[in-house]
Structure 1
Amino acid sequence: MIHQPIYILTVLFFLIFTSEWLCKHTFLKHISSSLLVIILGALVANLGIIPSASASSSVYDSIFKYVAPASIFFLLLGVNLKQLRRAGIPMLVSFLLGSIGTMLGVVIALQAIDYETVFGIRFAAIAGMMTGTYTGGSANFNAIALHYEVFREGAIFTGVVVADNIITAIWMIVTLSIPVFMQKFRPHATVLSDSLADESKREKEAIEPKGVALMLGLATLVIFLADLFAEITVEWGWNVPSILILTTIALILAQFKQVQLWSGAKLLGMFSVYLFLVVVGAYCEIGALVEVGAHAFDILLFTTLIVLIHSAFLIGISLVIKADWSIVAIASQANIGGASTALALAKSLKRNDLILPAILAGSLGSGMGTYLGFLVARYLGA
């Protein structure tokens, strides 16, 4: 019975519901829904409630092939590159410097561990994944993992996700302290943006059946075209990843005003991400998790060094150019945690003038993270 597709989907949907409910109504709210849904997926798979990696299902393959790319497409539709000029030069400069620091951090941190033993032949892909996620968020992480099929190494994938969540949470605390500490250590002038964000404005999406149909139809069309173009590039000798083509198409569509008025993309994107991640959890068998346990310290060291090198590079340059320390902290958080954590940091620092720039910097990271991730992965031989 556990191999019947309708049964598997039923369990996966209820696991997503459960993770969201637990994160909002219990002490588990300190754990991200993304991490919790992976844990729940691993738990039910190891209890034999749904198939695990060794007894995989066609449902899982379909989710990896279609749902995961769709999630990336939906989330990228919210990236409006025309509005980035409103972030101001200081925020964009700090954000781009942080992105360079991330790439340097990934390459250097990899040398600090026995990466071939820890990550095996997928070390370059994992380096690309970390570049992507520490440039602007998990959509980039998933895009690169999907192309290189790192998700099939369920235990390693989960180990990296766990380390990423730990470091991201700690970095929020650190970035809250940066403006206070650095302003005392090296006082710099405060830069204010021209536009103030409306703190009471919250994103809400009302979805109608025609909107859902349009979004799903567009997503499947773009996935089809991306796969088709990828095959054509192989014939031409270029071998361009379909995910990279999908990312490019999504970013182009996102610049049209009519597309920006569509509702539902973010909601569909997040649900698709959760469905993808719960299957990743199902691939985490206990035996494989035990094997990764021996390398848990190396994985944590790897992710920690990436962020430390990123911050050292960004803060070092900021000392020279005398940047506003609040902008530096928010830009760094946009790199490491994405738009949502950068927004939370701007609010925590009581810099309402930087709320919109924080979101836009995070959007830039969502747009460029996949490209930089593939760049690093290819540089390392993936």
Structure 2
Amino acid sequence: MTENSLYVLAALFSLVFLSEWLCKHTFLKHISSSLLVIILGAIFANTGAIPSASNASLVYDVVFKYVAPASIFFLLLGVNLKQLRKAGLPMLMAFLLGAIGTMIGVVSSLQLIDYRIVFGENYAAIAGMMTGTYVGGSANFNAVALHYEVFKEGAIFTGVVVADNIITAIWMIVTLSIPVFMQKLRPHKSKVSSGNHLEEADREVESVGPMSLALMLVIGIATLLISDFIANRANDFGFSIPSILILTTIALLLGQLRVIQKQVGAKLLGMFSVYLFLAVVGAYCEIGALIDVGAYALDILLFTIVIVLIHGAFLLICGLFMKSDWSIIAVASQANIGGASTALALAKSVKRNDLILPAILVGSLGSGLGTYLGFLVAGLLGA
């Protein structure tokens, strides 16, 4: 039965449903859906409910080759570069400084572990993945991982994802305390806008019809074909351009068109595709492989912790010199580390409605910028 492609596909869909339901209705709501779907995928694979990495299904190949890149494309369609000016110069500056702090942290943290043994030949790619995810979110992490095929190293990939989720959750608590603690330590004036941006910021639910869904799927498939074609043609002329980078660029360009901005369904397709991809990543995580990576678990955790600590320290020091609003510093940092959704949650938590829309906008900027910086760091380190 597990060799039947329809059965495998139905099982993967079930994993996505189950992870979402558990996160909304049980004590597991404190675990992110992305981490939970990986765990469930691993459980199903190791109990024989779905194929594991050693007996991979054709469905897995399709998910890796087409669904995962499509998820990145759909999520990036929501990046409206023209609206970034609404974020304001202080927020943009803080966000970009945070990205620089992340890059410094990634390179520095590698020196604290024996990265060639812990990560093997994938060390540069993993450094790029961590750069991407801590500049603007998991879409960038997946983009770099897909190009360098790090997902095939199921245990290492999952180990990094687990460490990332743990530190991201802890960092949310840290950034919540930054405005209060730093304002007492080094008081800075803040200019709180009376404007309410909740209407646009809270527009998170999409009402999707067949026409919009069909259009988004057609555009997504066409972009995948075009990206592969351009990458192959460039390779014929001696240029090595990752197709995922071409796809990212096309998505950002399309996202600026009004006709695309009016369409709905991209966010829904993007999130569902991400969960489907992560379920397959979990299936690649066999017990034997997890045991093998266990010896390096502390190294992976240390690597991740130091990245975020250096990012935070760098951004706080810059905030001291620039006398920045500490709430802006906290939200910008969260946009780097957790992405737009956690930055939005933080802005709401510190009761700064004026920062809700800027949080989403710089988070969107990170979704586009993170992939480029991820590939830059990976390339500089020798990937």
Q: TM-score over 0.5 for the alignment?
A: yes
- 1:223-234 equivalences under 5 Å are 223-234=224-235
RMSD: 1.0
| Helix, strand or coil at the partner of 1:204 | coil
CA contact (8 A) 1:23 1:31 kept: yes
Rounded Cα–Cα distance in structure 2 between residues aligned with 1:69 and 1:88 = 31
Report the counterpart of residue 134 of structure 1 in structure 2.
134
Report the counterpart of residue 27 of structure 2 in structure 1.
27
Report the counterpart of residue 184 of structure 1 in structure 2.
184
- 1:76-87 equivalences under 5 Å are 76-87=76-87
Rounded Cα–Cα distance in structure 1 between residues aligned with 2:239 and 2:79 = 27
Residues 201/149 of structure 1: CA separation in 2 closer, same or farther (3 Å cut): closer
Rounded Cα–Cα distance in structure 2 between residues aligned with 1:193 and 1:53 = 53
- 1:333-348 equivalences under 5 Å are 333-348=334-349
Report the counterpart of residue 301 of structure 1 in structure 2.
302
Q: Which amino acid aligns with 1:26?
A: T
Report the counterpart of residue 263 of structure 1 in structure 2.
264
Rounded Cα–Cα distance in structure 1 between residues aligned with 2:348 and 2:96 = 22
Q: Which amino acid aligns with 2:173?
A: I
Rounded Cα–Cα distance in structure 1 between residues aligned with 2:194 and 2:12 = 46
Report the counterpart of residue 241 of structure 2 in structure 1.
240
CA shift for structure 1 position 206 = 1.0
Report the counterpart of residue 42 of structure 2 in structure 1.
42
Rounded Cα–Cα distance in structure 2 between residues aligned with 1:362 and 1:191 = 21
Q: Which amino acid aligns with 2:183?
A: Q
- 1:284-299 equivalences under 5 Å are 284-299=285-300
CA contact (8 A) 1:133 1:336 kept: yes
Structure 1 spans left out of the alignment, 5+ residues: none
Rounded Cα–Cα distance in structure 2 between residues aligned with 1:85 and 1:228 = 34
Rounded Cα–Cα distance in structure 2 between residues aligned with 1:233 and 1:85 = 34
| Helix, strand or coil at the partner of 2:364 | helix
Rounded Cα–Cα distance in structure 2 between residues aligned with 1:106 and 1:15 = 32
Rounded Cα–Cα distance in structure 1 between residues aligned with 2:290 and 2:202 = 43
Report the counterpart of residue 205 of structure 1 in structure 2.
206
| Helix, strand or coil at the partner of 1:263 | coil
Rounded Cα–Cα distance in structure 2 between residues aligned with 1:189 and 1:381 = 44
Rounded Cα–Cα distance in structure 2 between residues aligned with 1:89 and 1:51 = 50
| Helix, strand or coil at the partner of 1:22 | helix
Q: Which amino acid aligns with 1:47?
A: T
Q: Which amino acid aligns with 1:132?
A: G
CA shift for structure 1 position 192 = 3.3
CA shift for structure 1 position 108 = 0.3
Q: Which amino acid aligns with 2:102?
A: T
Q: Does structure 1 residue 332 correspond to structure 2 residue 360? A: no
Rounded Cα–Cα distance in structure 1 between residues aligned with 2:218 and 2:347 = 36
Q: Which amino acid aligns with 2:277?
A: F
Report the counterpart of residue 16 of structure 1 in structure 2.
16
Rounded Cα–Cα distance in structure 2 between residues aligned with 1:256 and 1:239 = 28
Rounded Cα–Cα distance in structure 1 between residues aligned with 2:348 and 2:193 = 15
CA shift for structure 1 position 235 = 1.9
Structure 2 spans left out of the alignment, 5+ residues: none
CA shift for structure 1 position 257 = 1.1
Rounded Cα–Cα distance in structure 1 between residues aligned with 2:299 and 2:202 = 42
Report the counterpart of residue 310 of structure 1 in structure 2.
311
CA shift for structure 1 position 195 = 4.6
Q: Does structure 1 residue 220 correspond to structure 2 residue 229? A: no
| Higher mean C-alpha displacement, 313-322 vs 193-202 | 193-202
| Helix, strand or coil at the partner of 2:51 | coil
CA contact (8 A) 1:83 1:360 kept: yes
CA shift for structure 1 position 194 = 7.7
Q: TM-score, normalised by structure 1?
A: 0.99
Identity %: 72
CA contact (8 A) 1:135 1:335 kept: yes
CA contact (8 A) 1:196 1:354 kept: no
Report the counterpart of residue 250 of structure 1 in structure 2.
251
Q: TM-score, normalised by structure 2?
A: 0.98
- 1:340-359 equivalences under 5 Å are 340-359=341-360
CA shift for structure 1 position 202 = 3.3
CA contact (8 A) 1:79 1:251 kept: yes
Q: Does structure 1 residue 61 correspond to structure 2 residue 61? A: yes
Residues 115/201 of structure 1: CA separation in 2 closer, same or farther (3 Å cut): closer
Rounded Cα–Cα distance in structure 2 between residues aligned with 1:203 and 1:38 = 24
Report the counterpart of residue 110 of structure 1 in structure 2.
110
Q: Which amino acid aligns with 1:33?
A: S
Report the counterpart of residue 3 of structure 2 in structure 1.
3
| Helix, strand or coil at the partner of 1:369 | helix
Rounded Cα–Cα distance in structure 1 between residues aligned with 2:258 and 2:191 = 30
Question: 1:249-272 CA distances to partner (integer Å, 9 max, x unpaired)?
Answer: 000000011111110100110000
Q: Which amino acid aligns with 1:18?
A: L
Residues 236/194 of structure 1: CA separation in 2 closer, same or farther (3 Å cut): farther
Rounded Cα–Cα distance in structure 2 between residues aligned with 1:378 and 1:368 = 16
CA shift for structure 1 position 236 = 2.2
Question: 1:217-276 CA distances to partner (integer Å, 9 max, x unpaired)?
Answer: 111100000001011111222201000000000000000111111101001100000000
Q: Does structure 1 residue 151 correspond to structure 2 residue 158? A: no
| Helix, strand or coil at the partner of 1:374 | helix
